[in-house]
Amino acid sequence: IGLIAHDTQKKVMLEFARRHHALLSRFGRRLATGTTGGLLNGEVPARLAAEAASLRPVLPPPVPGWTTALQSGPRGGDAQIAEEVLEGRCRRLIFFEDPHVAREHEADIQLLERATRFAPQGCLCINDLANAEFWMNGFASLLAA
């Protein structure tokens, strides 16, 4: 499963991952772009030092290596995850995108979204918290059955 969150959505992703840590841990592999991956592994990068106090309470349990943190989005991380999707190594993606902020790597974001639509083995891409919660609750019910 891929986990990506733009800066304004990082806290939302962390809270989501904290609530669903056990279920997300059932996936054989968790991929994330750099900063999100670091946060999901319990590390607050220096560039977010000013926000550290508000982020620490929502960090998931610190498990080094819980996610494979690729490059940050602007440095090619979205394209790296797109490749994983197209190669069939990532079949689920939770991508909390901020639609109100222009990104310098917009082409990579579009590539990733296109990859999820045309992946040969299929890839579910969830872009908002409500649908992510709905999907995780369904996943939990399926596992409980």
Task: Identify the H or E element spanning 101.
Answer: none
CATH code linked to domain 16-144: 3.40.50.1380
Report strand pairing: 68-69 vs 92-96.
unpaired
**pLDDT tens for residues 53-112?**
888 888 888 788 999 999 887 787 899 999 999 999 999 999 998 877 767 788 888 999
pLDDT at 26: 94
| pTM for this entry | 0.90
pLDDT at 101: 76
pLDDT at 58: 87
* Secondary structure (3-state) at 88: coil
> Do the Cβ atoms of 39 and 54 come closer than 8 Å?
no
pLDDT at 80: 96
Task: Name the active-site residue from 7, 78, 98, 108.
Answer: 78
**Helices and strands in the chain: count of H runs, count of E runs:** 7, 5
Domain boundaries, the chain: 16-144
Q: Would you call 98 a catalytic residue per the annotation?
A: no
**pLDDT tens for residues 129-142?**
999 999 999 999 99
Give the span between the Cα atoms of 97 and 136, in whole angstroms: 18
**pLDDT tens for residues 9-55?**
999 999 999 999 999 999 999 999 989 999 999 888 888 888 888 88
